[in-house]
Structure 1
């Protein structure tokens, strides 16, 4: 499943760099070197063409208004899935999870990776094993003549989908209409922390003659799908004074040691997944931020009461 990059007119992305820090997005971002492609993408998916200031080899970008885009995929050959391990010299391990894909002298031989995905994650987290490298090639279903786009990800969630995706694409027997979605995930870790992030999901819908080329957008008569609610603390009577404004999310530096600690605290696996979860938790869930602010107030009050009690105990002794 090797693809040529020569005909690709743009790339779909689920984030961007904000200064020196990554930023997770709730809608698709498309980058390209073709001004006509950028303008057409904006007309199809919303947003405005603008210079790409996040770096990379594309000059223009469109931050679209869509979290889900209907696409056309040309069967299983539209998917490239590998496991890669890099070091300072470049790629030192390339396999499909069971056999080496390169270099030629070991191609086809057992690669030694654990058979279970959870075990592969653990080895990759330690720096001794490869990470997923997935590349999807497709056209926008509403305008296939615009050209081929692609989406690259190292998500373990996406890697887990690949066998099912290949099976579904094979079943269609030709071009398949799919939805490429940034799906919102909300869950509670083992430590009780509520986390949310968006994961890329491909849903195969059928052949071009059986599915509309564009997904219906939510309207007043057709509400958007409900998002699972974040667990709330018991309601309390409002204070007579207006509540303080929530504090803005605090930026963090990409220190690998801190990211590893964050992964342990959040119950996530992989640096990318941890960063997306942390950023999404701060940027996408205002309700959760408000709950954390209220919890912070409770902690401050408990600390003040405890301090007073300790002072009273000291003065009486």
Structure 2
């Protein structure tokens, strides 16, 4: 595979403009001027082709808001990744380098650019508007449909800039077209001030050569629900069965309204081991906006009830859901 000199088939984006405001996305957005390409993208990655309302500076006619946060792509060696450092001013481009030497204008090309060697120092200079920011352009094909042509992903992500040296080395080791995953990765951490921070960053993972890696990841097997326990056989009564003593009020408050089958089903989806862990994991999924299964959607409706039941259980000195 060689880099195509034809016009790109389209662009991949991690965000869009919505009513004039930037909006970060959880799945890839693809823009293109070709209606047929838009239809193929929707068939491959989910979503529906529609007029591009979040045009920004691309000016491409169609957009597809896909359902995929990771896409398997083909990169044709290190040359598929172009990385510059740029600083724009009111008069246009005022600094253009590769981090070591100027790339333009012609009279400065090849001269030392003066950028700090450390990435953190470059970030500080950029925040103070005294230094350039990254401009990374990745040219690739969709592994499952290379006939669609070349796509671009352009980003100013400092995280992507920090990944570039490892990325180019990995592409060199493949020594030919490399199968990669282009992913919008969720990052969650707690800051030094104790605040929860959540954001998404683009990541390219080199998987291997075309001979060793499939153009599409294998499908994820759906969890197999556990068979319902068979009802025990009832023996012929020889005498009246003893009456079951009444359940104490505190325990009844714990039992009423808890859908054990729902919790078990959600545990299979979430991979959790007990009810408490299931509820915690479900809350995390819901807060992250990632409830994509009927089990989680149903569990979301029950979270308030489960929380109330848990509170009653604590008041009644009960410590577990039944």
- What TM-score do the two structures reach when normalised by structure 2? 0.68
Q: Structure 1 pair 224/198, CA: closer, same or farther in 2 (3 Å)?
A: farther
Structure 1 residue 216, shift from structure 2 partner: 2.8
1:7 is displaced (CA, Å) by 2.4
Matches within 5 A, 1:53-68: 53-55=53-55, 56-68=58-70
Pairwise CA distance, 1:120: 0.3
How far apart, CA to CA, are the structure 2 residues paired with 1:123 and 1:224?
A: 46
> 1:168-207 counterparts in 2 under 5 A?
168-207=170-209
| 2:40 aligned partner | 40
Q: Which residue of 2 aligns with 1:123?
A: 125
Equivalent residues in 2 for 1:1-317 (5 A)?
6-55=6-55, 56-221=58-223, 284=289
Aligned length: 232
Superposed displacement of residue 225, structure 1: 9.5
* 1:133 CA displacement: 0.2
Q: CA deviation at 1:221?
A: 3.3
Pairwise CA distance, 1:46: 0.9
Residue 107 of structure 1 deviates from its aligned partner by: 1.3
Higher mean alpha-carbon deviation, 176-185 vs 4-13, is at 4-13
Distance of aligned partners of 1:109 and 1:224 in 2 relative to their CA distance in 1, 3 Å threshold: farther
Task: Tell me by how many angstroms 1:22 deviates.
Answer: 0.9
Q: Report deviation, 1:285.
A: 8.3
RMSD (Å), alpha carbons:
2.5
Q: Deviations over 1:32-82 (max 9, x none)?
A: 000000000011111111111112311101111110000001101101000
Distance 1:52 1:225, change over 3 A: farther
Q: Give the secondary structure class of the aligned counterpart of 1:41.
A: helix
Change (3 A) 1:225 1:200: farther
Contact 1:69 1:215 in 2 (8 A): no
The alpha carbon displacement at 1:209 in A equals 0.9
Instruction: Choose between structure 1 and 2 for higher RCO, CA contacts under 8 A separated by at least 6 residues.
Output: 1
The alpha-carbon deviation at position 5 of structure 1 amounts to: 7.0
What SS does the corresponding residue of 2:60 show, helix, strand or coil?
coil
Deviations 1:228-260 (A, max 9, x none): xxxxxxx9xxxxxxxxxxxxxxxxxxxxxxxxx
Larger radius of gyration, structure 1 or 2?
2
How far is 1:95 from its partner?
0.7
